[in-house]
Structure formats: C-alpha cells, structure tokens
Structure 1
Amino acid sequence: MGPVTVRLFAAAREAAGTSETTVEAATIGEVLDALSQRFEDLGPVLTRCSILLEGTRTTDREVPIPEGATVDVLPPYAGG
C-alpha cells in the first residue's frame, strides 16, 4: 500500500474543501473508504461520482492501484 494522489472536481471538491489530497491505499475501494472517513461530507457525493484511475473509468472497488498513480473523482455534471 502506498500513497495515492486523489484529485477532486466540482461538488466533490466542495464537499472535501480541497481539490487534491493523498491517501494510503492499495485498491480503488480503499481510496473511496479513506476519502469517506477523512471528509465526512464527501461520502454521499462519492456514490454519484465517476472514478478514474490514470484516466480510465472504473467501478470495480477491487482494482489495484499502481505505485504513484492518480485517481480522479468526477461528480456528474450538466451543461453544453
């Protein structure tokens, strides 16, 4: 398990009060759990977000995270 850079966008950024953080995690599920514990208001937002690991969307909580990887948290958005 190593440090993972997490970038938060839009409503996720607002709920966490930051646009970027680092968590110790080995899987996507561990990242999401760590974020929910660290930022109380972020938990409900995460259920609606897309999660990207190195730019590739994933819904599998068991996906391993390579060392030095970046995870992006993107809430749904509307607009044109």
Structure 2
Amino acid sequence: MEAVRVRLFAAAREAAGTSETTVEAATIGGLLDALSQQFEDLGPVLTRCSILLEGVRTTDRAVAIEPGGTVDVLPPYAGG
C-alpha cells in the first residue's frame, strides 16, 4: 500500500491541526478510518465532509484509491 496525499480544508484543517497529511490506505473507507484514528478531533468532522478523489466527489467507502493518489476533505461551508 502506498501513501495517499490528503488535503484538509476549513474545519477539517482546524480539527487535524494541519492542512495536509499522508495516509496509507487502499480505499476511501480505509482512509477515513485512518484519519479518524490519527486525528482524534477530526472523526466527528469527517461525517459532514465531502470527499473528493482526484477532484471527483465520492460517498462510496469501497472506492479504490490509486497509489500516490490525492484526496481532498471539504467540510460544508456557507457564505457568499
């Protein structure tokens, strides 16, 4: 399994204390579980986030992540 680049935005960044990290995961579900374990305060935030794999939104935890892939974690936001 190869490391996946994870970019965290807004509340996800605040909960993790970083804007970017790497996680070893083969699927979206594995990545979300690993992030929740690595950053205790991030778990509750992840339940409300959009997950983008290579720029495409997914809600399927079984989706495979290509080695060296990039995942963006985007919490809901308001404004205008």
Q: TM-score range by the shorter chain?
A: over 0.9
Q: What code does the residue aligned with 2:7 have? A: R
Q: Deviations over 1:29-57 (max 9, x none)?
A: 01000000000000000000000000000
Displacement over 4 Å in runs of 4+: none
How high is the TM-score relative to the length of structure 2? 0.99
What is the number of residues matched between the two proteins?
A: 80
Percent identical: 85
3-state SS, counterpart of residue 29 of structure 2? helix
How high is the TM-score relative to the length of structure 1? 0.99
Q: Distance in 1 between matches of 2:41 and 2:2?
A: 25
Aligned to 1:30: 30
Q: State yes or no: 1:67 paired with 2:67.
A: yes
Unaligned runs of 5+ in 2: none
Q: Distance in 2 between matches of 1:68 and 1:44?
A: 26
